[in-house]
Structure 1
């Protein structure tokens, strides 16, 4: 039976601006099972990275709860927060900017070990080498600086650093988007292997649907700070319900030149995330929009394990099925 590691209850993260309040993450409810990967997708600015940073307490939430292993960690501080942060780590999008250019590989990996004060001086060097071996960094690179490494090796250093304190949960914030395609595959396979070896739980943030399909057990689709659809990975690609999810999937390029691929262009103005009105934030661009869409929306389970924030989910779902059968 799957056990929940992370649970978010009505999580919100707002930022004050000169023209109002930016709703970066707005009323998010979800669960992440132990040893599983939740993929989070959506266009730039939808709140994916902010959600990840809020979960691991790099950002303080505005409202709601963050539950880790049954414990509410939303407002913990001081020593208790330091202990929580050892259980949750992050792999950043740009491996170059996330590393101190004045520190060698050895120094970068050793930093969390020294800060935790869990290791004696003699143990630190052995732990560094163990971590480097684990992520596939050659021993000869211990004294190298970030600018002397390629993108793939720099990201491996970031992964080693994230693993240093044996965390349970890792937020992978677009960890392969800055890498060449061939290197992307190596890093993704490394992450999957580490997950199996260490029973890690991932939240994988990306805008690349082919990547998220490969690595995720479940996928959460975000639009302007809100979760609009969430279900198992295979189910999402087989039967997307929310009109925004469908638009994302239809935008994936196809290599099959013999098959006609009709893309549905999204029209209309993007709703401002600053002081948004109640209702569906995708309504202005949705051809299925009706009067009910301008009323407050809640995410609901329309099928087992398939959650959608859409007042016309059942109707739109049938339209999707019929369209595919006719095609």
Structure 2
């Protein structure tokens, strides 16, 4: 005798679509874009097959293509022609990201434009702000770097950014940026904080793509230890209290427990499927070891199931196409 409850009845092929608990939509996805001030044509990123550095002059056409695919948001990472220890190109009115934002605003005004707010791509040393002597030796200085982040945030908002996304994991960064934006008249600009950014080994391809590798030390004194979940929650709780509009967990796939834990804070939550996650799937698919389409959509579904409202992913354009094919 079988029990009355037969769960397989719910898994009949024609019934499953009616009862699907988690659905990916195009509006869930944010496409990252690398914008390089020194190039005139797209340049392939070797460690991230299918991804490119884009010139400012060709950015509008690329973003229009993403919008035509049904995507509603992008996040910009700039590669400047010149770097210095003050990260001055990060807040310059004519900086690469500032020019990129204005180009998108003019050509595709309905696209939501997020800007990565950090200094690692703009400093010669590759760290995320101002460096100096600390108890750990030469390292990132917290409070002087807050002033830098506030200045970058206002510059990006002046250019037309809808959302600024501070990624440096400084103590007090959300409060400093919110105060600066409000004082400059940009109270409507959102802050999507990289509130729980782990010191992960999965960022290698990004550092190649954005030319943001560090010349000494590491970032373990300001990014989160992968071993610490309670501390990770506390980081996001503090950013929420300081005025963050959206919280973020980075990377995504290995940290779904942390992502799920942030839901009770009540704010929208983003997850960043990072370059290493992308490169792993791409490399295995190129060798025929897995089905890229199936694995990508499974990974995105699981990230959303864990609690993400938004997913930053290099697969955004592909996923948009696959969602169309599933209709």
Q: Structure 1 length normalisation: TM-score?
A: 0.33
User: Where is the strand percentage greater, Structure 1 or Structure 2?
Assistant: 1
User: Where is the helix percentage greater, Structure 1 or Structure 2?
Assistant: 2
Larger radius of gyration: 1
Greater RCO (Cα-Cα under 8 Å, separation 6 or more): 1
